Every structure is written in structure tokens, then in C-alpha cells.
Structure 1
Amino acid sequence: AVCVAPLTAEISTSGFSRHKHSILKMDEAVLTIKNELDTELVVSWMSERCYQCLYQQLGLVPAVTSPGQPSSVDFVVNTQHEITLQINSTPVTLDLCTVPFHFGEHGNYSLWVKNLNDSSVVNCSVVTDADPINSYIRECHTHKCIHKLVNVTFSLFSVSISLVIMVFVNYGGGRYWFFRHESWNGLTVADLVFPWFVFIMGTSIALSINSQLCAGSTRCSLLRKVVWRSLQLFIIGVLIINPNYCQGPLSWDNLRIPGVLQRLAWSYLVVACLDLLVGAWWSPGIDILLYWPAWLCVLLLEIIWLCLTFLLPVPGCPTGYLGPGGIGDMGLYVNCTGGAAGFIDHWLLGENHIYQTPSSRVIYATHMPYDPEGVLGSINSIVMAFLGLQAGKIILHYRDLHTSIMSRFLIWGLLLGAISAVLTKCSTDQGFIPVNKNLWSLSYVTTLACFAFVLLVLVYYTVDVKKWWSGAPFYYPGMNSILVYVGHEVFEEYFPFRWHMVNSQSHAEHLTQNLVATSCWVFISYVLYRKKIFWKI
């Protein structure tokens, strides 16, 4: 295969550069700091999304050279989140002022540092010299924008749509930050898709196994198929999805072992085996009490996760640490990214066999490899799939009783939402167990499962009860989900999924390219569906 180099370079958002830019990249603005004081200034910065972080130095601004002629230095600042600028004097470190500001993309700004009538009082004020462009959806507050985007995503929830959104996010999502994974605690649109896919996979397991048993298949034959299918998923993930063949032949020295398909394979194996084995022991009855041995196994797994997470000693780190390390927690635990989860992956898999560029580098400036699909988090992905299995059992046990099905979905959603509220204290960083996709924390699972049950009510009512929507065109990718997922990863750098852009720093062009690429896979899956071609493992 011919290797094609990426057409656009990744933009570093872990810090700011001290140099003039004639052409700004995406998510950047120019800030000119003008100093009217007779002392040199040290300028530092911190992102609002960085919890308990150290300030990082942006640069130095010389003292004024002559009255009326302030010294000035240009800096390039990031526009994704609000930042706080801290101005200190030298050589004596004195905090002169602190300025929080959310810069707009491609805007030009000036920060004036000067004395007012009282020479002992320093004034710092930001002036907009050139308005930012509107490519970053600034017409509403950032969190409100995310809320609206999440609501749109909610209305389209199903396994096929989860797959389509996953493809769109993997292609770049227009290079908007809310289509990238959160740096540590919290949620973006990108963090919603994978757990929903795992959830719906669990639902599909219940429906699929039930239909095959009704068709006459034996449990032993289905167990063999489950094991073989899981093994195939794992091999495809390790040998086809993870490697970058443009960097040379496949080598064990730097082969990443965890991954998305590997996580799906493990979750599918455990949950499908639980369903087959428990179903063999109990006759049809109540949808929860019927499967208490399986629930007992899942609760035991969750206890193992809690014990390892909060009790396992990690060298050089506090026991039970859930933080990102790096500059977080005031820089006290630089090499503790992920706590027990990171330690277990390094111990079992080795540093060269896990993900090398985690999202924690973006804001927290971490340097350690950390894998968001690591070993410890796989336990909670099993819990997520099992909750999806529970949704499938509700559909099977109360078939055609629409009110019973929807009411049980809502009860599950309410229960899981209450658990999430307790675990997180309804906050991003202050809870007992924050919502964290990198860790696949317990609150992450309960929160996303809560959303999943509520959204399943909407989808069930729209598609199955009222029949207002058939699911097209998103129905078709779900019929060839493995082909679409593997294909979009393997052919990501090839036309028509990617082409040379006129302006690679334009969100609009990236968004167009990513939408076209995603639409191509929907069309391909539609053609395969019409020709009755399905790739199943």
C-alpha cells in the first residue's frame, strides 16, 4: 500500500508560543502585551479547564525604554477555552495583576500594563484590535453550545448512529475542540459515542442470543462463536487498526496492545458468556431477579475495580489518585497520570505497548504514555455492556408492552442518574469519583448509561411505537458495522475521505471534508445493503 502523509499538521494546544505569526493556525489568536512600567514583566497563563494547575510561563516583556513609548511583545494564545493571564514583575516576583479572558479565534488583542494616577497601582486591560472570526460557533457560551450539540446527538441515538458519529469524530469533527476527547475530567461530544456503542452492543447481545436460541442453536455452539468472534475482533484491532504502517513494518517493539476493538472484544466476550451461562440455569421470569448470578459477577468485577483504583499502592503517587499528573494538582504528582490504571498498564503491558499521546497532554502537559482503553477501565466497559444487556432483557420480557418497557427504561435512567449525582457531587472535579473517559470511571459509566436509557426511550417511542422514523439512512452502517469501522480507519488518508485543502486552518473546510468522508461510508454501506453484502465475524 502507498503511504500518504497527513495533509495537515496537528496543532499543539499544550502551551503557547512566543513568536509572531503572519498566518494563524486554527484555535489561535494574537495577543500583544504592551508594557508602560519601568520593570520587566513575566507573563504566565493557565487554562480554566485545568483543575488545580500550575501557571505556565508565556514569556517576558521588557521594561519601557522611554516615556510614552511602551515596549511590546507579540504572543500566540489558544482560543479553545478561557485562560487566566498572570502578570508578575522582575527581578522581584510581585503579582501585579490577574486577567481572565476568552480570546476569539484569529482575533488580535492588546493587553496594556500601566500605572494610573497612583504609581503604586497597576492597571491591566485587554483591548480588541481586530475582531475574531465566527468559525468557532461563538454565538453562544461554550457550555451552552456543547449542550445544544449534545441534545442533537441525543435525538439521533442508536447503534448505527453511534457508529456514524464515531466515524465523524475520528475523522476530526471539523477540528472543533468539543469533537475531541476531554483532556481529563468532564465530557465532550466525542466522549459520548464509545460508551453508547458499548451499551447498544450489550442490548444486541440479548436480542441476538435469544433469536439464535429460538432458531435451534445450542448454548455450546453459541459459546464457541462468541469466543471466536471476540478473538477476531481483538486480532483486527491489534494488527490492522492500531499500527501505523507508514512508519515502517509491524514491530512488536512498539505495537499498541489495547484499543477500541480490543475493548469491544473483551466486553462482548464476558457479557455474552454471562448471558449464555446464566440463561442456561434459570427459566423465564422477572427481568432482574432472573439474572442475579450474572449481576453478582458484575458487582464482583466492580468491587475489584474499586479496590484496585483506591487501594493499590502506586510508587511515588498517593493511593487512590485519580488525577492527570503533569501540571495538575499543583505539579505535585507529575508522573502519576491515571494512578492505579496507568500503573497497571505499565506493569502488565509495558510503556511501549500503550497509547503514547493521551488527551491529558493537551491541557495538563503530561509526558507519560497513558492508554484510555487500558486494562483496568475494561472492567467498567463490561459494566456498561451489561447495563445494555439489561435493556435488551427488558425488551424481551415485556415485548409489545410499550408502557412497561419505557417505564423501566426511565426507572433505570433515574437510578443511574442518582448514583452519578452522589459520586460526582454534581460537579466536574469535586466529586468522589469524577466523570472521566480516560479512566472509564464508575461515574462515567453510570452517567452515560443514564443518558442511554433515557435516549432509548425516545428512540423506542419514535421508531417502534409511533413508527415515525425507520432509522434510515443511519440504519445501513449498522448492518456492516465492522466493515465501516475498519474501513474508515484503514483508508482515512485516501481520497475521497481526505484531500488537499485550500486553507488547512479553516474549520469550515475541515468540517466539509469530515462530513463528506462520513457520508461516503453511509453511502457505501447503503450500496452493500442493497446488494445484500454483509461482513460479519
Structure 2
Amino acid sequence: MSQTLGSQRLYSLDALRGFDMFWIMGGERIFHALSKATDNPFWNSLSHQFSHPDWNGFRFYDLIFPLFLFIAGVATPYSVGRQLEKGASRQKLLRRVVKRGFVLVLLGIIYNNGLSIQPISEMRFGSVLGRIGLAYMFANIIYLYTKKQSIRVIWAGCLLLGYWLILLCTAAPGFPAGDLTIEGNFASYFDRLFLPGKLYVNNIHDPEGLFSTIPAIATGLLGILTGGFLKNSPLSPNAKAVRLLAAGAALVAVALVWNIAFPFNKNLWSSSFATLVGGISMLLLAVFYYIIDVKGYKKWAFFFVVIGMNSILIYMSGHFIDWKYSTNAFFEWLTELAGDPYGILAFAFCYIAVKWAFLYFLYKKKVFLRV
């Protein structure tokens, strides 16, 4: 899977996608298990990072979702962009982008509600995959119909600033303008009016609602801008990595200042949050890109590449495969041998190993779920 820089799919991108999904497929269990087994302040603090704040704030686990969307954006110039270069019409690519977006929305609905028939009022329509699908779709439409990177930068800036201004100047009825509480903010109120079915939090707020998709589109665009830079810039690969590090650091700095007026909030996908996770995503990609694609150290990343090549499949798999049962079937003897308190830690490693072995089998058979 060796790739040519600037023209083909980035190996580092598949590795970073796999690194991202590693935490979704069970990597966080390791730190939770270490915390429970040792009750050590260090492991407790790391375990704490693998949970979400109730409302405002930022923890490492908040990065996982937007990083995936950012990565999807980075891939756009290498996929959609390459098709444009080969002469594919924008109308044809638009249909493909819209189809992919709505397939992800449908998969998200299935992920939330299963395949059973339910009343619409009992279904949850907002979802992680739905947010990725809609944000990816609109970010790619902007990409298709803008030719200059500078215009895409303006689009991203306008989406983030516009979203902030709307929430700053509006609120739910009965709340003061600019209210950012879970009930009082305009985004949650909008979803209560227009998002069908039930909302995730007590039917008053959904973290993957419709209105907060606006700044998520900017997250996808930040990925597209990054992918366009890596693919088309005449700079050397070393210089690209340095520029990407600088851009990521600058976005983090802007986000820290913005946080004062518009707090980090994954539930609202606040503009400061979108800027922060965009910056961190750039920093991570710069590191992976430099080590893997520039310096050529690829073997260590194979573990993550296997995961990254079937990311949607492993995300959906929990609804069709009982991974806990499968892990116990193979390794219950090992967790019993480890005993208390480290049996739960042994189980966490075995749980990941079983999933990875399944993905490796598919990888060797070249079976990949494409959306």
C-alpha cells in the first residue's frame, strides 16, 4: 500500500483514521480498567479524559468524533478532487456525494433504532453517522462549486462566525438572548421544533441535532483545506508538515481565546470547540504525515491501518455481533487467570484483540465496507 506523495491516498490518513477508531472500538476500556484496578490518581485522571463533560468543557474523548469528520474532509481532494481532474462532471460527483451523505444518515438511524418498525415519535433521528453524513455532504458541495482555497476559508469562517452570532443574539422563548444552557440555547430549541422523533437528552436536546450541524460543516471544510494543501502545495513534504503544525497550533490558540466568550461545548459543537478540534486534528495529522509519509516509518502504523480501512463496519458491528460474548468465548480463561483486580484489564486487551483479528481477516480478504 505504498503511496506517492501528492498524488495518491495518504497511508498516514488511513493510520490516523484507525487511531481514531481504536478508541471507539474499545481502546478507552484499557484506561477505565486501569483506573478501577489501581485507583491510582494518574490512571484515574486518564480515565476521566475518556468521558464527555455534561455540558461545557473539553476532554480527549470529545476529539474522536470531529477527528473522523476532519479526516473525511482531508480525503476529499484525493477522491472527489481526483475525479474532477479526470474529467468527471460536477453533477455526477454531486449525486455521489449526496447519496453517500444520505446513506450515512440512514445507517445512523439504524444504529440508533435497529431494524424494528417503531412509531416515529419513539425514534431518534440525530446520530453520529448522520452528523458525519450531512456535514460531509455540505462540505463537499462547497468544495465542488468553489475553485479557490481562499473561498473555502471564507466559507468555513462564515459558518463558524455566523453560528456564534446566531446563538449570541437568539434563545429559546422565555430565555435571554445568548443563553447557552441546555434548554435555553437556540440550537436545542430549533431541534425541538424541527427534528422529528425523540431527542437524546430528556427530549430537550440532541448533541447530533440539525442546527449544530452548521459548525460541523466547517470541521469538514477544515479537513478539505488541509487535504488540498497536502495534495497541491508545491512545498516539500517536510515544509508541508511544518506548515500544518503551525496552522494547527494557531487554530488551538484562537480557540483558547474564543473559549472565553463562547465556551468549548461538544453538545452544541460551539465555534470555539470546532476551532479547537480542527487545530488538534491538524497537529495529529502533521505528526502522522511526517512520520509515515515523509520519513517512511510505516510498519508501526499497520495496526491502525487495519482498523481505519473498515471504520464504518467496526462502528456498526456492535449491533450485529456480541463482542463481549465472543471475547469471553476465547479468553474467559485468561481473565480468570489474571484474577482481581486485573481481570478487567486483561478483558480490555482481549476485547480489542478479538475485534482487531476480525478486521485483519477482512483486510487480508480485501473485504471493505464502502459507503
TM-score, structure 1 as length reference: 0.58
Q: Is the 8 A contact 2:105 2:130 kept in 1?
A: yes
CA positional deviation for 1:321: 1.6
Equivalence for 1:342: 188
- Shift in CA distance, 256/163, structure 1 to aligned 2, threshold 3 Å: same
Selected match of 1:159 from 17, 28, 46? 17
Structure 1 Cα separation of the partners of residues 141 and 203 of structure 2: 35
Equivalence for 1:521: 355
CA positional deviation for 1:230: 1.0
User: Which structure has the highest helix share of the two?
Assistant: 2
Structure 2 Cα separation of the partners of residues 478 and 373 of structure 1: 23
Q: Is the 8 A contact 1:267 1:382 kept in 2?
A: yes
> Is 2:54 the partner of 1:224?
no
Equivalence for 2:230: 395
CA positional deviation for 1:212: 2.7
- Shift in CA distance, 398/514, structure 1 to aligned 2, threshold 3 Å: same
Match of 2:326, SS state, is coil
> Is 2:272 the partner of 1:443?
yes
- Shift in CA distance, 405/319, structure 1 to aligned 2, threshold 3 Å: same
Equivalence for 2:79: 208
Structure 2 Cα separation of the partners of residues 173 and 382 of structure 1: 32
Structure 1 Cα separation of the partners of residues 234 and 352 of structure 2: 34
Equivalence for 1:295: 153
Structure 2 Cα separation of the partners of residues 391 and 370 of structure 1: 32
Selected match of 1:323 from 181, 184, 187? 181
Selected match of 1:377 from 193, 203, 212? 212
Equivalence for 1:243: 113
Structure 2 Cα separation of the partners of residues 508 and 490 of structure 1: 29
Q: Is the 8 A contact 1:497 1:514 kept in 2?
A: no
- 1:53-84 deviations in Å (ceiling 9; x for gaps): xxxxxxxxxxxxxxxxxxxxxxxxxxxxxxxx
| Matched AA of 1:443 | S
Structure 2 residue runs without a partner (length 5+): 1-13, 34-46
Selected match of 1:253 from 100, 118, 121? 121
> Is 2:68 the partner of 1:197?
yes
CA positional deviation for 1:294: 3.0
Q: Is the 8 A contact 1:174 1:510 kept in 2?
A: no
Selected match of 1:355 from 193, 196, 200? 200
Match of 1:256, SS state, is coil
Q: Is the 8 A contact 1:302 1:380 kept in 2?
A: yes
Q: Is the 8 A contact 2:156 2:222 kept in 1?
A: no
CA positional deviation for 1:387: 0.7
CA positional deviation for 1:260: 0.3
Q: Is the 8 A contact 2:238 2:290 kept in 1?
A: no
Equivalence for 2:132: 264
- The two structures, once aligned, show a CA RMSD in angstroms of 2.7
Structure 1 residue runs without a partner (length 5+): 1-155, 280-289, 325-334, 357-366, 425-430
CA positional deviation for 1:493: 6.1
- Shift in CA distance, 320/202, structure 1 to aligned 2, threshold 3 Å: same
Equivalence for 2:307: 477
User: Which structure has the highest strand share of the two?
Assistant: 1
TM-score, structure 2 as length reference: 0.82
| Matched AA of 1:398 | S
CA positional deviation for 1:399: 5.9
Match of 1:226, SS state, is helix
Match of 2:298, SS state, is coil
Structure 2 Cα separation of the partners of residues 396 and 402 of structure 1: 10
CA positional deviation for 1:170: 8.0
Rg larger in 1 or in 2? 1
CA positional deviation for 1:492: 4.7
- Shift in CA distance, 535/323, structure 1 to aligned 2, threshold 3 Å: same
Equivalence for 2:321: 491
| Matched AA of 1:217 | A
Q: Is the 8 A contact 2:27 2:352 kept in 1?
A: no
